[in-house]
């Protein structure tokens, strides 16, 4: 089951970033998931799935946002990946 998150923002925000509304919505989703990954709240696999991309592409996307793929929970994630392999 999916839920919808609604965020009110001034139209000028997307305009100031030189983005169309749909592009801005997509960017906010991407940034939110990257931040959750960075904080160790979700795995790279889940973030990739929610962004409709593969895990490698997600990890490569982190560079664009200056986020390291090494984070606090990475050791547990690697151990889980290895046990599921």
Q: Where are the domains of the chain?
A: 20-84
Predicted confidence (pLDDT) per residue in 18-70, tens digit: 999 899 999 999 999 999 999 989 999 999 999 999 999 999 999 999 998 87
CA 54, distance to chain mean position in Å, is: 12
User: pLDDT at residue 73 above 70?
Assistant: no
Q: How many CB atoms lie within 10 A of CB 44?
A: 21
pLDDT of residue 70: 76
- Determine contact, residues 69/44, Cβ cutoff 8 Å: yes
Residues 6+ apart with CB under 8 A from 41: none
Predicted confidence (pLDDT) per residue in 52-61, tens digit: 999 999 999 9
């Amino acid at each position: 089951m999916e839920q919808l998150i609604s965020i009110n923002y001034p139209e000028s925000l997307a305009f100031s970033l030189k983005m169309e509304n749909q592009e801005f919505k997509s960017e906010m989703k991407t940034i939110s998931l990257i931040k959750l990954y960075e904080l160790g709240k979700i795995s790279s696999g889940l973030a990739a799935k929610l962004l409709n991309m593969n895990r490698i592409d997600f990890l490569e996307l982190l560079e664009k946002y200056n986020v390291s793929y090494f984070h606090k929970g990475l050791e547990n994630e690697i151990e889980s990946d290895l046990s599921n392999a």
